[in-house]
Amino acid sequence: MKSLGYWLLLGLLRLLSVLPYALVARAGNALGAALYTRMSNTRVCELARRQRGRFGADMIERSASAKQVVRLLRSGVPVMLAADMDHGTTGSVFAPLFGVPACTLTSVSRLARLGGARVVPFVTEVLPAFRGYKLTIFDSLENFPTDSEALDACTMNAFLERQILRLPDQYYWVHRRFKHRPAGMPAVY
């Protein structure tokens, strides 16, 4: 469970990355799309993009227009977004993660609201002795999104906490979830 993905139904893209994810999805038959963040090394970025999309998913750079993602969701295409990373305070709120304020993306609830989509969390985990992977797809989040991005962020972080407690050795701890701090709070790292 390297990371948590709530968001947009595409666990198949991340089977090689052990993560909890969530998926935002509407009923439809399209394979899907996934958001990714461009890496500074263009060769590594292109390799990762190709590998993640090799099963037919459209790979959309995170900084691209949200209109493209909303259009896909409204047309029934599931979109996967790993939202358990600290991407900075823009488009984020501070929500507790194990009792510590964590800079948490609000894009999941905004995209679900705008796209009329459900958020379906899922987790991939490495099997014992590295004998493969297990994908667990959970029921869609109830009463999500709400009218409060802060409440939605708390809901997502609570799910993440439960998965980390279940599989602490598989969480991708190098994500530095507490990189950005609320005003007046000391740095964690």
Amino acid 77: pLDDT: 83
Q: Indicate whether 187 belongs to any domain.
A: no
Among the ranges given (7-11, 83-87, 108-112), the one the predictor scored with the smallest mean pLDDT: 7-11
Q: What is the average per-residue pLDDT within 50-64?
A: 80
pLDDT digits (tens, 9 = 90+) for 123-157: 888 899 989 888 888 888 999 999 999 999 999 99
Between strands 33-36 and 79-81, the pairing is: parallel
Structure tokens at 3: 């990371």
d(CA 10, CA 2): 15
Q: What is the average per-residue pLDDT within 50-59?
A: 79
> Which residue range is the domain that position 128 belongs to?
5-175
Residue 53 exposure: Cα atoms within 13 Å on the Cβ side: 17
Per-residue pLDDT at 163 exceeds 70: yes
Per-residue pLDDT at 76 exceeds 90: no
Amino acid 117: pLDDT: 87
Instruction: Note the pTM of the prediction, 2 decimals.
Output: 0.77
Question: pLDDT category, 171, cuts 50, 70, 90?
Answer: confident
Structure tokens at 150: 């802060």
Domains identified in the chain, total number:
1
DSSP, res 136: E
Amino acid 147: pLDDT: 95
Facing residues of 118 across strands? Answer: 25
Q: Indicate whether 185 belongs to any domain.
A: no
DSSP annotation string for 50-115: HHHTTTSPEEEETTS-HHHHHHHHHTT--EEEB--S---STTEEEEEETTEEEEEE-HHHHHHHHH
Contacts 24+ apart (CB under 8 A), 134-141: 135/11, 135/12, 135/15, 137/11, 140/25, 141/6, 141/22
Q: CA of 146: how far to CAs of 96, 143, 174, in Å?
A: 17, 6, 30
H/E stretch holding 149 reads helix 149-166
Q: What is the average per-residue pLDDT within 81-90?
A: 86
Which residue, chain included where needed, has tokens 């993560």? 19
Per-residue pLDDT at 49 exceeds 90: no
Q: Indicate whether 44 belongs to any domain.
A: yes
Q: What is the average per-residue pLDDT within 150-175?
A: 92
The CA R_g of the chain, rounded to the nearest whole Å, is 16
Average pLDDT, the chain: 81
Q: Indicate whether 116 belongs to any domain.
A: yes
Q: CA of 161: how far to CAs of 20, 57, 139, 150, in Å?
A: 10, 28, 17, 16
